[in-house]
Amino acid sequence: MSIVAVKIKVMPTSPETDLKKLEKNIQETLKENSVKNPQFEIEPIAFGLKALIVMFGWPEKQELESLEENLSKIENVSSIKIIDIRRAIG
C-alpha cells in the first residue's frame, strides 16, 4: 500500500489563540484517526496571526474528508486547507 505525504494548514480563530494548546488538540484528533508521528511548524501570516502547518503520512487509498471534518471541529480552528499531497512510498 502506498503512503502519501500530506501537509495541512490550520488557521486559528485569532492571533491570541494558544498554538501549543491547539497543537495538542490536533495531535489528539490525529491519534484518534490513526495518524502517527505528525510534525508541526508555525508559519507567520500577518499582524501577529500564525498558522500551524501539520505534516504526516496517510494511506493513499484512504479518504481525507473525515479527517478534515474532525480537525475543523476543534475549538479555535478557523479553517483547514490541504496545501500539499504527494506520494511518499510505493
What are the per-10-residue average pLDDT scores of the chain (90 residues)?
90 96 96 90 94 94 92 96 86
Task: Note the pLDDT of residue 88.
Answer: 78
Predicted local distance difference test score (pLDDT) of residue 55: 97
**How far apart are alpha carbons 42 and 40 in whole angstroms?**
7
pLDDT on residue 23 = 97
Domain layout of the chain by residue ranges: 3-89
Specify the CATH superfamily of domain 3-89: Ribosomal protein S6/Translation elongation factor EF1B (3.30.70.60)
46: exposed, middle or buried (C-beta count within 10 Å: 0-12, 13-18, 19+)? exposed
Q: Is residue 50 helix, strand or coil?
A: strand
Residue for grid cell 478534515: 68
